[in-house]
Amino acid sequence: MKRDLPAHVYDKKGILYFQRRGYKSARIASRPGSKEFALEYAALLNGAQPAPPSGKTFSSLVTSYERSQRYRNLAPRTARDYDKVLAWVRKKLGPLPVDRMRRKDLIRARDANAEAVRFANYIVQVVRILLEHAIDIGWRDDNPAKGVSLLKSETPARQSWPPEKIDAFREHAGGRALLIFELCLGTGQRIGDVLKMRWSDIESDGINVTQGKTGTVLWVPFTAPLSTLISKTPKVGPTICAWGRGKPSSYRSAHELVMNVRKQIGAETYDLHGLRYAAAAELASLGCSDELIMAVTGHQTRAMVARYAGSARQVSRAKEAQKLRK
């Protein structure tokens, strides 16, 4: 295969390195094909070491961003997701000057991590935010990350639990597995938020929720099946899903409990987050508006409601339309 890079220059997941026997390896900051790259490459061939970077590096930019109000305003769950990419930026881009980042550099980094589509897309999104911060503090005048497309995942779309599988789960499950299932389905919340629900959060046959991902504050009424189950559930700890001597349930244990039942009923395709889809789909099939669905699920946009409930809403509307033809 013909190399697009000159001798001794290697692309390692979007980062260029000069590596030659007898020479000290060095990271190349310049863009291939540019005048700066030719000068930097020539200097490295002659044994020169790259000049120390200025203070306006990606490592310094990450530090500045982490101290900013923009970062401090992130919900805890979002901050944790961002932190993984910020660590990657420090490791891979740390000493590189911020003002030399080009659109093609980010695309190369995205494509180099394409085996993990979600992370590759997070690189694009977080670097875009970092470069917006760079503009805010006067380190750049533009943001080359704007408009860089995200990769499409080949993973099948998440499936909403169909009614027959919901009925089968209720028939075969019991104990903590059924409790976790009904809380996810009945409240329409993410599993992480469900496992943090406390008995003290219950108010007027409903529950107060602060969503970990978005910080959205909700009060969600219990469904009839959930209300009945909650009334029969012993309080063994501060959290509703506690077990043993009051130990909170972890995601791993919740996943295993529910998976055991899923295997019994042939529902391996439908995961815990699919219950959030199922809650939105059920509300849509009952004719609820976007605003009503958002009041339960806490979604911030109609686009997200359409993603979760679009199929069920289409079926409901099609049935309603066809009735007019009879």
C-alpha–C-alpha distance, residues 4 and 138, integer Å: 34
DSSP character at residue 95: T
One digit per residue, the tens of pLDDT, for the chain of length 326 reads 446 788 888 888 777 888 888 787 887 877 788 877 888 888 888 876 655 555 889 999 999 999 898 998 888 888 889 999 999 999 999 889 999 999 999 999 999 999 889 999 999 999 999 999 999 999 999 999 999 999 987 777 778 899 999 999 999 999 999 999 999 999 999 999 999 999 999 999 999 999 988 889 999 999 999 999 999 999 999 999 999 999 999 999 999 999 999 999 999 999 999 999 999 999 988 888 889 999 999 988 888 888 887 777 788 778 878 888 86
User: For the whole model, what pTM was predicted?
Assistant: 0.66
C-alpha–C-alpha distance, residues 299 and 297, integer Å: 6
* Helix or strand (DSSP H, E) at 84: helix 76-93
CA dihedral of 113, 86, 213, 300, whole degrees rounded to 10: -80
How far is residue 276 CA from its own chain's centroid? 15
Which candidate, 109, 115, 124, 108, places its Cα nearest to that of 154? Answer: 115
Pair type for strands 217-221 and 206-210: antiparallel
In the chain, the DSSP E strands lie at: 9-12, 15-18, 26-27, 206-210, 217-221
